[in-house]
Amino acid sequence: MQILFIGDIVGRPGRRAVRELLPGVVREHGVDFVIANAENAAAGFGITRDTLDELLECGIHLFTTGNHVWDKKEALSFIDDYPNLLRPANYAEGCPGIGHAVVKTAAGIPVAVVNLAGRVFMHPADCPFRVAKGLLAGLRQQTPAVIVDMHAEATSEKQALGRFLDGEVSAVLGTHTHVQTADETILPGGTAYISDAGMTGPHNSVIGIEKDMIVERFLTGMPCRFEVARGDVRLQGVVVDVDPQSGRARAIKRVNLRLKE
């Protein structure tokens, strides 16, 4: 079973990259199930109903998010309408939405997805390690195929979670930093791992934002309104080959495709 995980989709350029490049990726790799982190899909910060519906029409089956999930306040009112839209499972009890889901592929194979947020250099949240462990027993009764999006700043925290869950989940895939790492691997227990799946959006930028704005912010320390950049638009992510019987990952391959201007 081939599972495509798309790195953080940023703004209109990222949505365009998905619309134009995703069909080719699905064909080339024989993708059975598509997951994408969509917390930056609306103008670079947050999600709206319109942007979510647009991405659904592109063929994405399930969405994860992270610390920007509430940046567009309307998300609070519609997140419960989408059972395939997750927010981090280790957010406080009482938050809208859900942090994990089990969705079937077109062939009827169930895939579980868990969305977690890191705590190092991030907003306060419950322990992602303990929350993940608490969810696994119930999820593995439904399917051996479990994909974890670890939305975190610190590489050490992501690596530690990968090691902690090795052999218990199919993949631990990092998001949030918008810089695709080259450390994709299959851990000893059969769990696929990468520290960051990358960014789907404009790469002539600083993590998706107009570079001059970010440089000015670093030079002066003054606040400014960030705008999504435009050039060098790419779709980044990973394809994970998962054995549907055991849930073990057989391979992980990075995807990095440039959109023709």
Give residue-wise pLDDT tens across range 107-141: 999 999 999 999 999 989 999 999 999 999 999 99
At 261 the pLDDT is 75
At 107 the pLDDT is 94
Output the pTM of the full model.
0.96
Provide the CATH number for the domain formed by 2-258 in this structure. 3.60.21.10
At 33 the pLDDT is 98
Give 131's contacts (C-beta < 8 A, 6+ positions apart): 89, 90, 99, 116
Three-state secondary structure of 172-200: EEEECCCCCCCCCEECCCCCEEECCCCEE
Which segment of 119-128, 135-144, 174-183, 221-230 scores lowest on mean pLDDT? Answer: 221-230
Catalytic residues: 68
Give residue-wise pLDDT tens across range 27-71: 999 999 999 999 999 999 999 999 999 999 999 999 999 999 999
Q: Where are the domains of the chain?
A: 2-258
